Amino acid sequence: MDKIWLIIQREYLTRVRKKSFLVISLLAPLLLAGASIAIAKLNTGSGPDIVAVHDESGLRLAEHLADTEDITFVPAAPGSLAAAQQAFLKAKPKPAALLDFPASFTLDSTGGVQVLANGSLPLKRREIIRKAVNKALGELKMARSGLTQAVIDKMQARVDLAAIDLTQQGGRRNDVGTTTGIAYVLSILVYLFIFVYGVQVMRGVSEEKSSRIMEVMISSVKPFQLMMGKILGIAGVVLTQFALWLVLSWGITTVVMPLLLKADKPVAAATVTTTQTVDNQQATVDKPAVSAAAPVTDAVVAPRPGQPFSVWSALDGLPIGSIIGGFLFFFLGGYLLYSAMFAAIGSAVDDQTDAQQFMFPVTIPLILSYVVSINVIINGDPNGPLAFWLSMIPLTSPIAMVMRLPFGVPTWQLVLSGTLLIAGFVGTTWVAARIYRVGILMYGKKVTYKELSKWMFYKG
């Protein structure tokens, strides 16, 4: 154990003291937060797009088209369509589109509507305009038949369903958006860290083998001790980097972001109620914050007046302890399992080009577990039979089980999956060590899968 500890210290300190490690560990969360804030500012700073409405139908449709958070409808220049087009092209700032209703347009004959734009019209903007036109025509038809929107609103029922997880003590409110987001983030972290740092183990072994440093080291330690020390040392680097990212992310979301977003708080229309209506001019002013027609319910996850903004408030009610503990366990278990295989690959090849043929079979379970788990667990049933077996197989459980954690996993399944993962790691380490002890001293020979199988049964 003393020799393994010395190797762990060497691997850990060598990587932690590099400038690249410090730069990535300290700047990555700051760059990510800065990019998120910049995108949010750019999305909200420009305001809604303006669509000019040219109406020759006589239905005064420009007055009935309801503005949204993304689109504001304004009357086009009076006159013919050609005059409206000229005014549209010369307008400063230029409207996003020109919506034309021809003279032949009626409530019963709705053909001939055009949307003219200066360039290609984005699909999202076209769909927003189409929905607004359909809604306005529907209201006009209802008014013609004697119905009003107020009567229809009273007849319609809007129910907010609260999903409760009865497997949690006391019943836990199940916010699908939050649990899905956490599942995505945790699975991506596991996938990236296992792949990136597993490849680092492989490259480190391969480089030391190519430089013949391995021959000197083997004279003092056993191959198994060297392999385990390298794997555990890099595991310490992974945990250190992850801890730094966690601390910095917490500081950014609880301290920095509230200060940067403080100026945006007055924009929120906190006094808007379900039954409030406003005229077109006032709606244009208030619209970037909250649509006047949108109901304000407790289901909306947003900071209330007087409360500081915090991303962590969205995690209320989730089993944070089991999520963090399960994530760390399966993350480390998956890293150790795959790193042992990557170390065996690094010992068997002389250069990185030869490593590609052996990396592909190793990474297939990792990639498939991520792709299949998204469709089966997040978009399907997180407690179904396929999700269960994906979280039991050691090669797929690090990602599949981490995806299931936010949705709630029975304790016996966690214990069984963890036990199988440990057994898988022990078995994989034994196989990798048998290949490692022969491969690190094998030079100038093209290795095949048949040759690797022979190395596993060499004596000595």
Tell me the CATH number at 97: 3.40.190.10
Spatial contact of 142 and 64, defined as CB atoms under 8 Å apart = no
Asked whether residue 56 is domain-assigned, the answer is: yes
Q: What is the pLDDT of residue 301?
A: 41
Spatial contact of 227 and 433, defined as CB atoms under 8 Å apart = yes
Residue 109 and residue 54 share a domain: yes
Residue 223 and residue 78 share a domain: no
Q: What is the pLDDT of residue 239?
A: 86
**Residue 165: helix, strand or coil by DSSP?**
strand
Asked whether residue 306 is domain-assigned, the answer is: no
Asked whether residue 13 is domain-assigned, the answer is: no
**Residue 324: helix, strand or coil by DSSP?**
helix
Residue 58 and residue 119 share a domain: yes
Domain that holds residue 425: 175-259+316-455
- For residue 223, name the pLDDT band (cuts at 50, 70, 90): confident
Closest CA to 252 of 406, 35, 45: 35
d(CA 97, CA 94): 9
Residue 202 and residue 101 share a domain: no
Please name the residue ranges forming H helices in 253-351. 257-260, 280-286, 320-348
Q: Which residues lie below 8 Å from residue 55, measured CB to CB, with a gap of 6+?
A: 61, 62, 75, 76, 101
Spatial contact of 241 and 200, defined as CB atoms under 8 Å apart = no
Asked whether residue 24 is domain-assigned, the answer is: no
Q: What is the pLDDT of residue 460?
A: 58
Residue 213 and residue 331 share a domain: yes
Closest CA to 177 of 163, 192, 158, 159: 163
Strand locations in 386-426, DSSP E? none
Asked whether residue 372 is domain-assigned, the answer is: yes
Q: How many CB atoms lie within 10 A of CB 330?
A: 24
d(CA 39, CA 188): 21
Residue 183 and residue 133 share a domain: no
Last residue of a domain, one of 120, 153, 186: 153
Residue 335 and residue 399 share a domain: yes
Give me the mean pLDDT over the 453-459 stretch. 77
Asked whether residue 264 is domain-assigned, the answer is: no
Residue 189 and residue 138 share a domain: no
Please say if the pLDDT value at position 28 is more than 50.
yes
Closest CA to 389 of 405, 413, 366: 413
| Average pLDDT across the chain, whole number | 76
Residue 145 and residue 182 share a domain: no
Residue 181 and residue 131 share a domain: no
Q: How many CB atoms lie within 10 A of CB 377?
A: 26
Question: H-helix or E-strand containing 71?
Answer: strand 71-75
Where residue 146 falls (left for φ over 0; alpha for ψ -120 to 50; beta otherwise) is left
- For residue 260, name the pLDDT band (cuts at 50, 70, 90): low
Q: What is the pLDDT of residue 270?
A: 36
In order of 86, 120, 126, 220, 401, the CA distances from 90 in angstroms are 6, 18, 22, 81, 58
Spatial contact of 89 and 118, defined as CB atoms under 8 Å apart = yes
Residue 131 and residue 183 share a domain: no
Please say if the pLDDT value at position 416 is more than 90.
yes
Where residue 301 falls (left for φ over 0; alpha for ψ -120 to 50; beta otherwise) is beta
Task: Return the structure tokens found at 457.
Answer: 């049964």
Asked whether residue 133 is domain-assigned, the answer is: yes
For residue 100, the cross-strand partners are 54, 114
Please say if the pLDDT value at position 417 is more than 90.
yes
Asked whether residue 280 is domain-assigned, the answer is: no
Task: Return the structure tokens found at 323.
Answer: 């999520």
Please say if the pLDDT value at position 425 is more than 80.
yes
Rg (C-alpha) for the chain, rounded Å, is 30
Give me the mean pLDDT over the 368-387 stretch. 84
How many domains would you assign to the chain? 2
Please say if the pLDDT value at position 444 is more than 80.
no
Which range in 163-167, 310-314, 363-367 is most confidently predicted, on average pLDDT?
A: 363-367
β-strands 97-101, 49-55: how paired? parallel
Residue 210 and residue 78 share a domain: no
Long-range contacts of 270-278 (CB under 8 A, 24+ apart): 270/305, 272/296
Orientation of helix 223-251 relative to helix 2-16, angle to 10°? 40
